[in-house]
Copies of this chain bind each other. A is one copy, B any other.
Amino acid sequence: MKVRVDVMLKTGVLDPQGEAVRHALGNLGFSGVESVRQGKVIELDLADGASEEDVRKMCEKLLANTVIENYAIKVL
């Protein structure tokens, strides 16, 4: 089972990485970049028998910091 997990900062949480990218794009001459948000994408290859609930537990325990991040699970 192949699963993809997207982890993004919750809205309202300061995103220094995104700000740094926005700033750098400006320095490279790209105008019109209003905001940049950066997150993680994690692709998991799981043995048969694994469930989406298992992946949810993986997210809660390790893959996402649920205090400041949201995660979305997509079975591929």
Contacts and interface: CB of A to CB of B under 8 A. Distances in A.
A45 to B, nearest CB: 4
Interface in A1-54: 6, 8, 18, 21, 24-25, 28, 30-47, 49-50, 54
A46 B34 CA distance: 5
Contact of A45 (B34, B38, B42, B58): B34
A35 B41 contact: no
Interface string A45-73: 11101100010011001110000000000
Contact of A62 (B21, B35, B41, B44): B21
Interface of A: 6, 8, 18, 21, 24-25, 28, 30-47, 49-50, 54, 57-58, 61-63
